[in-house]
Structure 1
Amino acid sequence: MCVVSESSKMYTQHLRSFGAIVKERQRQILNYGFRIHPFSKANLIWSLTQLVVIFIEVVTLALSYVFFSMNSSFVYLYIFSILRYAMNAFFGLVVILNFFTGYYDEPNQEVVLDSTKIASEYFKTFFILDLTVTIPLEASYYLFWFWDKKTVQLLNCVKFLVVIRFYKHFKFCAEVLSINYYKYMVALVVICALFYWHIVCCLLMLFRLHLSSGGRKELMFKYARTIMHSFWSDISKTHPEIRAIIGAYYRGSLIIYNSSYGTDLPSTEAEVLLIWFGWYASSLFFIYILALIMEIMKGKTSAAHKYVEMEKQLKDYMRHKQLPMIMRSRILTYYEFRFQKSYFRENEILDTISEQLRQEINMHACRKLVENVIFFRNLPLNLLVRIISCLRIEVYLVNDIIIKANTPGTSMYFISTGTVAIYTKSGKEICHLEDGSHFGEIALIIKDTLRTASVIAVEVSEIYRLDQKDFVKAINPYPDLLANIQHIAAERMEVASMLDEYNRKEQTTKR
């Protein structure tokens, strides 16, 4: 549960094959046994759990502020206190486990599992925030004994910054669970709006109780005379908490949307400033919400939205052609793996930049290929650049035939990510090749030769193709390298012929 999950192939850039995942698991088990991988199932479950607990924390913390002056409310019950302490203990566990959970270093494009680096990164980011949430409200009264309870309670409002962590976990879970971008954005807007409305309404009522003149402890109930008087009087007698919370929502909404208290005017200048600040902050928040809505509506220019639109067109096309469901699934898998849910026109982008930048981009894109493929090691830099510029990327799905035996060969292939199976002419499986392997080099050496083996994709694989004509142009100035490649090709031809002959004799004997 704590090692990298196989599903990470669909939402990560550097773990896109089973071979890469196996190597990552081995690296973690051998060197970092007591760590939680950021792309593991355990981290996903833990993030989902934190989403639920943070939601409860935000709701209950705001309600405790509304009922601060009501000694008979449910926030002073023993069960509610146990719930609050349980959530504080949960966030304490979050702090501990964060020191054992790796993170993805995007600039270096690697997963960091070293404890020292994890602790350093955590201290620089969310440690103070997470530690603040773990302190119970009652403990704050003793910790800040030199202040009165009202001031300490206002100080604890910083705990609402935990919504930042909510957003982080929500985004991560949406990526892992492959939630549609539009659904994710709509859910984010709705949750942000509800969180803001609930927190601000509760805090505004708390601030007003602190800022208002004497004898205003019951001001949160006064508006009841203006709406649903007969019904409200019955509710307020049996459920004063409901009366208080709706009162907080009512007055808070008046400040947020109308910049006023309604018929009950503010009694101090501080309350007037509170109205102004609440309305101004709300206006800025609504501008942010409007920007998110515009991003959803006009997001067709972004890569993620273009992918969503392209996916819709693709589904309509497949439905129009009445393609079978298996074929539809394979096509969607291809597009998802190829574009990683971000559609872009690579050729148009590369045409707008200089040749030097194109070479640098190609070298960076193929850096892992260069590191893993033995064929590319110790090559002169000029030759390496020329060969990489000639590579053509191809994506093969499970059971796709990459090379078929006894067919003319004109290309060599390098496995960037994925796994392929090698079969003899008689259909006997020889071996599996994974990230960093290459095959088909015989076609580069001997012109018009027939393939000695078949190659079939075992999983979704990203493979680079090098055509013979491009290879000949690049390799001519380097005869020693050409001789080395010819030696490798001759050895593989000999092994393939021997295995094929052995399989034929074995089949003849069985007959």
Structure 2
Amino acid sequence: MDTKATIVQSPFSKYGHDCSLEDLPDEYEYNGIPNRGFLNKLRRMTIRACAVSESSKMYTHHLRSFGAIVKERRRQVVNYGFRIHPFSRAYLVWSCIMVFAIAFEIFFTALEFLLRGMPECFLYTSHWIIGTTATDSIFVLNVLLHFGTGYYDEPRQEVVLDFKRIALQYLKTYFFLDLLACLPLVLPPYLWEILPFAAQVAVDLLIVMKFFLIIRFYKYFKYCAEILDINYYTYMVTLVVVFTLLYWHVTCCMLKFTRERMGTSKNSIFIRAKTIQSLVAKEKASEYPVLYVIIGAFYRGSLIIYNSSYGKVLPATEVEILIVWFGWYASSLFFIYILAMIMEIMKGKTSAAHKYVEMERQLKDYMRHKQLPMQMRSRILIYYEFRFQKSYFRESEILETISEQLRQEINMHACRKLVENVIFFRNLPINLLVRIISCLRIEVYLVNDVIIKANTPGTSMYFISTGTVAIYTKSGKEICHLEDGSHFGEIALIIKGTLRTASVIAVEVSEIYRLDQKDFVKAINPYPDLLANIQHIAAERMEVASMLDDYNKKEQQAKR
């Protein structure tokens, strides 16, 4: 396998082989599309962007190895064509675009309500209308793309790429909200004049529904933060700031619009330059009407939000009193929500994610105190990141607090992929299966870690849960790669005191279950047929390894 060199040099690189899994093979990725011609290259680029990303194993629970990603990508390319995978680079880029598009849409939708009826305002210029039309086009494209974008089905723990299931799921969730976002942001003043009052109210209500896009904003922002590995505190603080600014802006604009729409008195404090005579001179307000309407609206709106009053001026009508009450009450509920988010940030100090960050900091201090080399520090940090998935937990304490039955069920669930994929575990009696799985011990190996070394005593068998390992003969010649669901080292379970006939090296960070000989013997004794089958597999592997080793020795002697 000819690939790029890894950061850590392989102990078998002296034999002319250095394994790495940074790139996926073309036959799995492009489904035979040649790399010639502009259109073919464009198709290959599109497939690569829409297919599952290699980095997805760092933020998903079911695609944590090279082999799993290869199978998922092959399934997508062969069976589902140009579907967009939810863990692809294309979906990540599009989510980032939608974060800014939604924030823009919410901000300027509220501003359009504030400045409606002012033909001189910038919202009615041709350049601005062209820009908003482009934004609406993004939302139209978003609706179309989501009918071809898969989703992760949490209960079934699978990525759904079937068109019918995607369409049904989208129609049941966010379709109508995304469709409302496609409505034009700004309507020309002459169009409002010819519309009857009932039609104007209906259109306004539809446009107001755009504010519910904040739900989609949160979804996209959370997804981008997870994929881009944004710090938890940075993510939460940014969310609080953005939510607060958008709420303040939307509330101030809508308070002004609602009061004028419901026919409040001529003494309204929101009437153009008169609203800010206490702030600037009257002649200045007449020079910049749009600017001072905005300033006046935000000034008075802020008084309502924070003080439930206009300041020195009292409400002129009962409608204004109701608007003041509603604005202040809604703002109070919003501030309670923001306060809860801030408390969640503070409480994060005791959360699993924060405990992991604290443990990582202590680990770095410890490694610095011990003056460990940078290469070793990097490997230790990679181990902890893979082992805990950035959420610290004490597994031993958790398991001690539950019953034996629950522990067995947890082990069975954790090893379900092993049960489904490993031939050795198929069609086993349930009692034997439970006994064997209860004896498994989980181990994590980093890139180029030696799992088994040839010519050393063997006492354990290994099952690959996630990851890839390379098998070498005694002379250092690579035999093959083993991936998720494979097993090796079974000879040590059958023949006591035997020496290992091959070396096994981790090609990527791998999660492997170890089964010791003494535990295996206790579990397998009542099943002689199963023991015979394992002995047959072991004999075949010993024969193949011996033949390859002899062939390599003769080849090396011939070269000399």
Normalising by structure 1, we get a TM-score of 0.96
Mapped to 2, the partners of 1:248 and 1:508 lie a distance apart of: 90
3-state secondary structure, aligned to 2:470: strand
For residue 276 of structure 2, what is the amino acid of its counterpart? Answer: A
Q: Out of 264, 271, 287, which is 1:219 matched to?
A: 271
- Residues 138-197 of structure 1 show CA distances to partners (whole Å, capped at 9, x for unaligned) of 399699867253553244211111111111010001111111111111111111111111
AA aligned to 1:276 is W
Secondary structure, counterpart of 1:464 in structure 2: strand
Q: 1:61 deviation in Å?
A: 1.0
Post-superposition shift, 1:250? 0.8
Residues 1:8 and 2:60 are matched in the alignment: no
Within the alignment, does 1:290 sit opposite 2:290 as a pair? no
Secondary structure, aligned partner of 1:134: coil
Deviation by residue 1:293-327 (Cα, 9 ceiling, x = unmatched): 11111223322222222222222222222323222
For 1:438, the equivalent position in structure 2 comes to 487
Q: Which residue of 1 aligns with 2:31?
A: none
State the match for 2:257 in structure 1.
Answer: 206
* 271 and 142 in structure 1: CA distance in 2 versus 1, 3 angstrom threshold: closer
SS in 2 for 1:393: strand
The reply on whether 1:132 has 2:180 as its aligned counterpart is: yes
* 1:123 alignment partner AA: L
User: Which residue is 2:81 aligned to?
Assistant: 33
Counterparts of 1:472-491 in structure 2 under 5 Å?
472-491=521-540
Which of 189, 197, 200 in structure 1 is aligned with 2:240? 189
SS at 1:415 equivalent: strand
2:3 is matched with which residue? none
Tell me if the contact between 2:305 and 2:327 (Cα under 8 Å) persists in the aligned partners.
yes
Q: Separation in 2 of the partners of 1:146 and 1:277? A: 24
Please say if residues 53 and 87 of structure 2, whose CA atoms lie closer than 8 Å, have aligned partners that are also in contact. yes
Which sits farther off after the overlay, 216-225 or 346-355?
Answer: 216-225
Q: Distance in 2 between matches of 1:79 and 1:215?
A: 34
| CA contact 1:220–1:248 (8 Å) conserved in 2 | no
The whole-number CA distance in structure 2 between the counterparts of 1:265 and 1:361 is: 65
Aligned residues of 2:465 and 2:484 also touching (Cα < 8 A): yes
Range with bigger deviation, 415-424 or 312-321? 312-321
* Matches for 1:68-467 after TM superposition, within 5 Å: 68-137=116-185, 138=187, 147-149=198-200, 152-215=203-266, 219-227=271-279, 229-230=280-281, 234=284, 236-467=285-516
The separation in 2 between residues aligned to 1:81 and 1:432, in whole angstroms, is: 59
Q: 1:141 to 1:331 in 2, by over 3 A?
A: farther
Overall identity of the aligned pairs, in %: 71
Partners in 1 of 2:436 and 2:117 — Cα distance? Answer: 75
2:267–2:316 contact (8 Å) kept in structure 1: no
Q: Following the alignment from structure 1 to structure 2, what is the Cα–Cα distance between the partners of residues 328 and 237?
A: 66
For residues 257 and 95 of structure 1, what CA distance do their matches in structure 2 show?
A: 38
Query: What is the CA–CA distance in structure 2 between the aligned matches of 1:315 and 1:143, rounded to whole Å?
Result: 69
SS at match of 1:147: helix
Partner of 1:63: 111
Moved runs in structure 1, 4+ residues, more than 6 A? 139-144
Length, aligned pairs only? 508
Q: Which runs of 5 or more structure 2 residues have no equivalent in the other structure?
A: 1-48
Quote how far apart the aligned CAs of 1:233 are: 5.0
- 1:363–1:385 contact (8 Å) kept in structure 2: yes
User: What is the CA–CA distance in structure 1 between the aligned matches of 2:95 and 2:276, rounded to whole Å?
Assistant: 41
Measure, in 1, the Cα distance between the counterparts of 2:197 and 2:290: 31
Q: Distance in 2 between matches of 1:144 and 1:89?
A: 25
Cα deviation code 1:20-47 (max 9, x no counterpart): 0000011001111121000000000010
TM-score when normalising by structure 2 = 0.87
2: CA distance, partners of 1:207 / 1:348: 58
The CA distance in 2 between the partners of 1:464 and 1:23, in whole Å, is 22
